[in-house]
């Protein structure tokens, strides 16, 4: 079995081994140089690569190729072309050129551009990204590409991500050179995203309009049991789920995704998958592909995979933990504190840069995870709060304190754990405990950004993180570059100290779920940006525009377009949800309630006909209770209808988004409150859709 997996792994990837086998030596070298150092690739090299790629693909049964890209919809896009080329005599040959590999020209008019391009200007280009390997899926060769407009503006998530990785590498190398680490030529950022998801029965899914149209349930009374027994977390996998996970792992391994960890999550029907970390660009592509394969393979097992941030009210939603670090080309993890963090100048300087970056651009980090779906989680005491803060743990906090107070810090002895059971070997305890409530936690040799939503691409949070840290490093470089060598050590120490003093307000090791923290954070002047419409306008703040333009991540035009798209996306999401809820009320819920009330009334009448003196108080009481709430429900639905119209009539996108947040979204909550109350009384067979109990406990 072991051998099989090692053979299977990456078998559908045009990876290093295939390249070495298939490419002429000089072509291989040129391509490697492009991949590792980001150098320009000549057309003749591309031609040779294209031939080898096609040959390898055709050997594997492939007939088509596609430029695979990540438009601002948040999903991936693809357009397939076959390799066939008629030879004029009724025959064909399979052909693929360097030009086709490098550049594609999909009609871009239907992808969001946020006003960058009018619809009649349809031209857009996709450009090959050699740093993310091509792979085979469904008999098609997938070529990861960037996507831009005719005038060169980025219309995707990959382009700015690659720009941000370059910026970080550039600034990190400059800083490392100044502090004497002259061997370093480049720095990569690494990411390991842990992905949460729900698996529910396909039959149940198909019966619920809300799940079909919005990915989440808009109404639904809680099941008698939720997650309070904590029996699902890490629980034994049910056979059907296990079979799904097994097939998923196998398919992921084939396309070179190092799926590593899988387990049941806190909520019933919720699970998690984590791969081994990779370069950010590859990790982002792989996460997109993972989500796609999860959905596809779920279907095969008669499941539907829900990636929405909050599919069910009352139990945990899903997120993504973005484990992030930086690594030099000489193989050093810049966030590895080593044995004596207090003595490692390089580690402390890099740590200070991250602290400064997170404090100065906390609003952008919050923005990078903002969506209608994720608004349900942040601040709801299941995911980190909307306030961005950093958890450092006891040991690093002691180091930081010591620096601030100029006192000497010595690392404590590592504590040996004894479990009390003789058969269990003793093991050394980690120097940091876990803190579930922190949005940005140091976890030994990396930071874990935990506010991400489960359905979104992890590109944007990493763009912000890379850029903000690059900026902090650039500022450090500026302060240190003119310092004479003999004063350098002292200057670095002073710089670290000053940075800590200035930015320590963002460090918080306590419980982020308490009201006390909300108050404390306000006193410290930290942002608490609760909803998407509240956070989005910050993208246009001068400090943020300057950050992105200065480092060449976005042009001003690109920033404006992204702002427009994010607003529109929020508005459209709530609009669809509101319309779905209205439809569900009129088509499913209200008829069911009416029928039940009618049945109840008939029963009362019939009872009376049988015998005038039979008691009907209980039925009448129930009828009254339901009728009363039903009146309120109908009223609330009318209000919602009117407000949807008002929202659509709003002049500008920001007021529209705000109007959808309040009152439209608030109206929906009100309706839900009444509906969930009534649903408790309605028999299952009268409801045209499955309840929470059925969905969450009968898989």
CB 655 within 8 A of CB 631: no
Rounded distance between C-alpha atoms, residue 687 and residue 698, angstroms: 17
288-327 residues in contact with Mg ion (CB under 5 A) are: 321
Residue from 106, 192, 385, 690 that binds ligand ADP (CB under 6 A)? 192
The residue range among 76-84, 136-144, 186-194, 235-243 that interacts with ligand ADP, by the rule CB under 6 A, is 186-194
Q: How far is the CB of 443 from ligand ADP (least distance, A)?
A: 6
Cβ atoms of 552 and 638 within 8 Å: the answer is no
Provide the token pair at 136.
């085979």
Residue 445 or residue 555: which is nearer to ligand ADP going by CB? 445
**Residue listed under structure tokens 């391009």:** 117
Total residues at interface with ligand ADP (CB under 6 A): 16
CB of 322 to ligand ADP, least distance (A): 9
274 binds ligand ADP (CB under 6 A): yes
Q: How far is the CB of 162 from ligand ADP (least distance, A)?
A: 18
Smallest distance, Å, CB 279 to ligand ADP? 10
126: phi then psi, degrees, rounded to nearest 5? -110, 140
Shorter beta-carbon distance to ligand ADP: residue 468 or 633: 468
* Binds 261: which of ligand ADP, Mg ion, none (CB < 5-8 Å by kind): ligand ADP
The site partner of 273 among Mg ion, ligand ADP, none (C-beta below 5 to 8 Å per kind) is none
Which residue in the set 124, 215, 275, 317 belongs to the binding site for ligand ADP (CB under 6 A)? Answer: 275
What's the min distance (Å) between Cβ of 248 and ligand ADP?
A: 16
Alpha-carbon distance 157 to 4, whole Å?
35
Q: What is the DSSP string of 441-480?
A: EE-SSSEEEEEEESSS-SHHHHHHHHHHHHHHHHHHHHHH
Q: Mark the segment that binds ligand ADP (CB under 6 A) among 222-230, 318-326, 348-356, 403-411.
A: 318-326
CB of 29 to Mg ion, least distance (A): 39
Binding site partner of 324, from ligand ADP, Mg ion, none, Cβ cut-off 5-8 A by kind: ligand ADP
Closer of 442 and 527 to ligand ADP (Cβ): 442
192 binds, among Mg ion, ligand ADP, none (CB under 5 to 8 A by kind): ligand ADP
- Shortest Cβ 272–Mg ion spacing (Å): 9
Burial of 344 (0-12, 13-18, 19+ CB in 10 A): middle
Preceding omega of 286 cis (within 30 degrees of 0): no
Taking residue 39's Cβ as centre, other Cβ atoms within 10 Å add up to 10
Kindly state whether residue 446 participates in binding ligand ADP, applying the rule CB under 6 A. yes
Cα angle: 294, vertex 300, 304; to 5 degrees:
55
Beta bridge partners of 263: 272
Query: SS3 for 641?
Result: helix
Cβ closest to ligand ADP, residue 129 vs residue 448: 448
* Contacting residue, 325, 346, 371, 499, with ligand ADP by CB under 6 A: 325
In the complex, the smallest distance separating the C-beta of residue 442 from Mg ion, rounded to whole angstroms, is 12
Residue 541: CB atoms within 10 A of its CB come to 12
Which entry of ligand ADP, Mg ion, none binds 466, CB below 5 to 8 A by partner kind? none
What number of CA atoms fall less than 13 Å from residue 361's CA on the CB side? 31
Chain position carrying tokens 């000549």: 42
What residue has token string 């309630």?
A: 593
Q: How many CA atoms lie within 13 A of 164 on its CB side?
A: 26
Beta carbon of residue 325, minimum distance to ligand ADP (angstroms, whole number): 3
Residue 54 interacting with Mg ion (CB under 5 A): no
Residue 376 interacting partner from Mg ion, ligand ADP, none (CB closer than 5 to 8 Å by kind): none
Give CA angle at 382 (381, 383), nearest 5°.
Answer: 100
Q: Does residue 190 bind ligand ADP (CB under 6 A)?
A: yes
C-alpha dihedral (594, 599, 601, 607), degrees to nearest 10: 180
Separation of alpha carbons 66 and 142, rounded Å: 5
Please identify, among the stretches 184-192, 216-224, 497-505, 621-629, the one whose residues bind ligand ADP according to the rule CB under 6 A. 184-192
3-state secondary structure of 319: strand
Least distance CB 97 / ligand ADP (angstroms) = 37
CB-based contacts of 653: which residues, under 8 Å, 6+ apart? 564, 567, 568, 571
CB of 276 to ligand ADP, least distance (A): 4
- The residue (of 321 and 504) whose beta carbon lies closer to Mg ion is 321
Binding mask 136-175 for ligand ADP (x = CB under 6 A): ----------------------------------------
User: Under the criterion CB under 6 A, does residue 431 sit at the interface with ligand ADP?
Assistant: no
Instruction: Report in angstroms how near the CB of residue 329 gets to ligand ADP at its nearest.
Output: 15
Judging by DSSP bridges, how do beta strands 319-328 and 447-453 pair with one another? antiparallel
Sorted by sequence, the CB contacts under 8 Å of residue 283 that are 6+ apart come out as 190, 191, 192, 193, 275, 277, 458
CB distance 592 to 682 below 8 Å? yes
CA 402 – CA 405 distance, rounded (Å): 5
Of the listed pieces 246-254, 270-278, 574-582, 663-671, which binds ligand ADP according to CB under 6 A?
270-278
Closer Cβ to Mg ion, 271 or 321, answer by number = 321
257 makes contact with ligand ADP (CB under 6 A):
no
Token pair of 453 as six digits: 């939503």
* Burial class (CB within 10 angstroms; exposed 0-12, middle 13-18, buried 19+) of 159: buried
- The three-state secondary structure class of 208 is coil
Q: Which is nearer to Mg ion, 435 or 477 (CB)?
A: 435
Residue among 27, 102, 191, 500 that touches ligand ADP (CB under 6 A): 191
Spell out, one character per residue from 326 to 365, where the chain touches ligand ADP: x when CB under 6 A holds, - when not: -------x--------------------------------
Which residues of this protein are in contact with Mg ion, per CB under 5 A? 321
Which residues of this protein are in contact with ligand ADP, per CB under 6 A? 190-192, 194, 261, 274-277, 321, 323-325, 333, 445-446
């Amino acid at each position: 079995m072991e051998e099989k997996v090692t053979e299977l792994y990456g078998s559908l990837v045009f990876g290093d081994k295939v390249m070495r086998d298939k490419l002429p030596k000089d072509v291989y070298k040129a391509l490697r140089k492009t991949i590792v150092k980001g150098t320009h690739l000549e057309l003749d090299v591309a031609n040779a690569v294209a031939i080898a790629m096609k040959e390898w693909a055709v050997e594997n049964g492939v007939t088509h190729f596609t430029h695979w890209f990540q438009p601002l919809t948040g999903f991936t896009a693809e357009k397939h072309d076959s390799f066939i080329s008629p030879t004029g005599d009724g025959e064909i040959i399979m052909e693929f050129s360097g030009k086709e590999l490098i550049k594609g020209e999909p009609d871009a008019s239907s992808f969001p551009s946020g006003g960058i391009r009018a619809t009649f200007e349809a031209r857009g280009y996709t450009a090959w990204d050699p740093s993310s390997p091509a792979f085979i899926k469904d008999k098609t060769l997938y070529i990861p590409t960037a996507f831009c407009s005719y005038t060169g503006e980025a219309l995707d998530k990959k382009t700015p991500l690659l720009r941000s990785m370059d910026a970080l590498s550039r600034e990190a190398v400059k800083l490392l050179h100044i502090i004497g680490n002259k061997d370093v030529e480049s720095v990569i950022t690494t990411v390991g995203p842990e992905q949460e998801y729900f698996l529910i029965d396909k039959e149940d899914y198909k019966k619920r309009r809300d799940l079909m149209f919005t990915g989440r349930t808009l109404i639904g009374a809680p099941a008698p049991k939720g997650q309070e027994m904590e029996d699902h977390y890490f629980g034994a996998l049910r056979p059907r789920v296990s079979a799904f996970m097994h097939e998923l792992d196998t398919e992921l391994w084939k396309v070179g995704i190092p799926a590593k960890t899988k387990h049941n999550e806190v909520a019933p029907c919720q699970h998690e998958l984590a791969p081994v970390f990779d370069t950010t660009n590859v990790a982002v592509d792989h996460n997109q592909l993972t989500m796609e394969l999860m959905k596809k393979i779920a279907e095969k097992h008669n499941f539907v995979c829900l990636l929405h941030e909050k599919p069910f009210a009352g139990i945990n939603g899903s997120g993504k933990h973005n484990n992030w670090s930086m690594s030099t080309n000489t193989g050093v993890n810049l966030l590895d504190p080593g044995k004596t963090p207090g003595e490692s100048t390089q580690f402390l300087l890099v740590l200070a840069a991250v602290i400064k970056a997170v404090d100065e651009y906390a609003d952008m980090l919050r923005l990078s995870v903002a969506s209608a779906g994720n608004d349900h989680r942040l601040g709801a005491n299941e995911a980190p709060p909307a306030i961005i803060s950093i958890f450092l743990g006891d040991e690093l906090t002691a180091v930081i304190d010591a620096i601030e107070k100029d006192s000497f810090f010595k690392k404590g002895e590592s504590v040996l754990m004894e479990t009390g059971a003789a058969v269990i070997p003793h093991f050394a305890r980690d120097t940091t405990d876990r803190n579930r409530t922190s949005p940005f936690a140091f976890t030994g040799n990396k930071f874990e950004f935990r506010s991400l939503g489960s359905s979104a691409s992890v590109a944007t949070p990493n763009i912000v993180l890379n850029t903000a840290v690059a900026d902090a490093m650039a500022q450090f470089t500026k302060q240190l570059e003119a310092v004479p060598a003999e004063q350098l050590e002292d200057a670095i120490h002073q710089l670290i100290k000053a940075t800590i003093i200035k930015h320590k307000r963002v460090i918080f090791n306590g419980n982020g779920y308490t009201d006390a923290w909300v108050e404390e954070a306000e006193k410290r002047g930290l942002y608490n940006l609760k909803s998407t419409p509240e956070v989005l306008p910050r993208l246009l703040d001068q400090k943020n525009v300057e950050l992105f333009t200065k480092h060449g991540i976005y042009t001003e035009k690109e920033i404006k377009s992204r702002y427009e798209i994010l607003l529109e996306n929020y508005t459209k999401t709530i609009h669809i949800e509101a319309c779905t809820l209205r439809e569900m009320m009129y088509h499913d819920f209200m008829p069911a309630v009416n029928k039940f009330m009618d049945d109840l009334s008939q029963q009362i009448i019939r009872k009376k006909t049988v015998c005038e003196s039979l008691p009907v108080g209980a039925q009448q009481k129930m009828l009254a209770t339901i009728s009363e709430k039903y009146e309120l429900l109908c009223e609330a639905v009318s209000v919602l209808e009117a407000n949807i119209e008002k929202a659509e009539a709003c002049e500008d996108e920001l007021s529209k988004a705000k109007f959808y947040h309040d009152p439209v979204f608030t109206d929906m909550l009100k309706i839900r409150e009444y509906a969930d109350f009534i649903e408790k009384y309605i028999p299952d067979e009268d409801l045209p859709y499955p309840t929470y109990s059925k969905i969450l406990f009968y898989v």
